[in-house]
Chain A
Amino acid sequence: MRTVLEVADLQVHFETARGPFKAVNGVSFALHSGERLGLIGESGSGKSTIALAIMRLIKPPGYIAGGRILLDGTDLLQLDQEAARTRRLADVAMVTQGAMNALNPVIRVRHQLLDGLEAHGVHLAKNEVDEWLAGLLDSVGLRPEVADLYPHQLSGGMKQRVCIATAISLNPKVIIADEPTSALDVVVQRRVMQTLRKVQEQLRAAVILIGHDMGLMAQFADRVAVMRAGQIVEIDDVRAIFARPQHPYTRLLMESLPSLDQRDSLLRSGPIARPAAEVPTP
């Protein structure tokens, strides 16, 4: 399996009155092409900070204190501002939590989608625009008319679909989804995750799914990394983690879930999961 993204010994600190706070403290992992990696851990464990470091959007008082982030062999941390900017969306896209506020309320969906393109110097001819928009919206399960709506005319699920459409608009190699469904109700959550999975498979993009819902992870991820206090305490195949959690903290997370039997059936029959045969066996 080819590695698209490799994070090595990443250190992200926040300057505080009591000295640097190590929000990410020596994190390493590799992401294979087309892989779905779950990043799980309690709130404040540093998950979003890792995502923002990969996007090169850590802002003061935060700073990257060390490590490497290799995307297809290029160290993103060595790029200048402008090069880092053009990598966003084109190579690594991110879907944020809080879908309700992710879209600009005074801009139609059409322009929200096109602005990302134009930021990368891609200008579609007038007669191509509608077709391109319709295709993009269709791939996330939205009708073409949605392009001409304002965000307040969309439901939460539709908004998050628009965000996913934005994220895939330039065929990125890696999509980071930071608790993409946290603001949505359970039914909508599931459908949005299905959509994310569908587009991910079509693009063969690798995905990092950040979340704290073990059930959702079980149905989506190939591998799971468990974070605690800025470190990855355990990273393994999803079935292995569920069957034999090694770290006490992982076991603690598991206890919030149904029994082992149910967990196993969750893995196998969840609506988002592939047929059992395709889930790599430990």
Chain B
Amino acid sequence: MATIPVEEIAHPPVVPQLGILTHLLHNRKFTIGLAVILVLLLVSLIGAQFVDPAERRTGAFPARQSPSWDAILGTTSLGQSVAIQLTQAIPNSMLVGFIAATLGTVIGAIIGLASGYFGGKVDALLRILIDVFLSVPPLLFLILIASLLRGVSVPTMALIIGLFAWAWPARAVRSQALSLKERQFVQVARLSGMGDLEIVFRELLPHMLTWLGANFLNAFITAILAESGLSILGLGPQRDTTLGIMLYWALRYGSILQNFWWWWLTPVILLMVLFLALYLVHLGLDEVGNPRLRAHG
């Protein structure tokens, strides 16, 4: 029997690679960003446990106090503690971002993959849908919907924003799928008896995970921004507290003109910290995303 020569086998560059998670956890930008987000979330959730429900009522504190030991971030014109409001506003704003970004990314990925991979009539139909959603200004529709639905809740708000967040990723995923499906490894997968769904999820999707992760983070930021914008316009979930709703009340009571800086500045700073943290996670993901770059870097 023919024996196999060993030269080629003797010196393969066998450098087993670490998993992507290990790489992410070694990336400073990713870990710092993620840590900030988790700390904000945990501090808020744990802090909320120590708040007496009576302290949440309007008038629970003397109104318009600058930061002091009793209310470390001051109080509002309605006699609420800004710090206590934050314990609800931060998790709620993150919830809006998370639900909307998940919805937009998952729906976008599914529609984009179906459209790009299957082509034909499916593609023709989905493309029209994508184009329609891309051409309407989402803010206009959000304003319209939010004003039609009087008194939205936090999850409803997230749902509405999410429904306008899928078209862009769908278009990008579609064009990636279009080019990927012509690559030879897809034909090889077919030759190996893999079905369409297996090919879509096992051969194509892994190429897009980094991109989808980045899109998720972008959508997260955009959704929090959209929620704040709508809330400032008075179309937010006014029975709940979000960072946007805090700003709405602060502006409504003229906190800027009257120089109650702690009231309006606190949600603004937290929004900025949140965006910065999400952006750092995004940068870290980008650096780690490409296995080729990792191998040589």
Contact = CB atoms under 8 A, between A and B. Distances in A.
Interface of A: 55, 57, 85-90, 93-94, 96, 98, 101-107, 111, 115-116, 118-120, 141-143, 145-146, 148-150, 152-155, 157-158, 163, 166, 188, 191, 194-195, 197-198, 201, 271-272
A150 B17 contact: yes
B184 A157 contact: no
Contacts of B5: 191, 194
B190 A272 contact: no
Contact of B2 (A105, A119, A198): A198
A195 B4 CA distance: 6
A120 B192 CA distance: 9
Contacts of B193: 85-90, 116, 119-120
A210 to B, nearest CB: 14
The 10 closest A-B pairs by CB, nearest first: A141-B4, A88-B193, A116-B192, A101-B184, A104-B185, A145-B14, A89-B193, A119-B194, A194-B2, A148-B16
Contacts of A103: 185, 188
A96 B192 CA distance: 11
A104 to B, nearest CB: 4
Interface in B212-266: none
A85 B192 CA distance: 8
Interface residues of B, number: 34
A221 to B, nearest CB: 15
A96 B189 CA distance: 11
Given A158-B8, A188-B8, A198-B1, A102 B192 contact: no
Contact of B184 (A85, A98, A106): A98
Nearest to A116: B192
Contacts of B192: 88-89, 93, 115-116, 119, 166
B9 A141 contact: yes
A55 B190 CA distance: 9
B15 interface: yes
Contacts of B9: 141-143
A197 to B, nearest CB: 6
Given A102-B188, A104-B206, A149 B16 contact: yes
Contacts of A195: 4
B58 interface: no
A146 B16 CA distance: 8
Interface string B113-155: 0000000000000000000000000000000000000000000
Contacts of B291: 105-106, 150, 152
Interface stretch (B45-53, B90-98, B195-203): B195-203
Contacts of B16: 145, 148-149
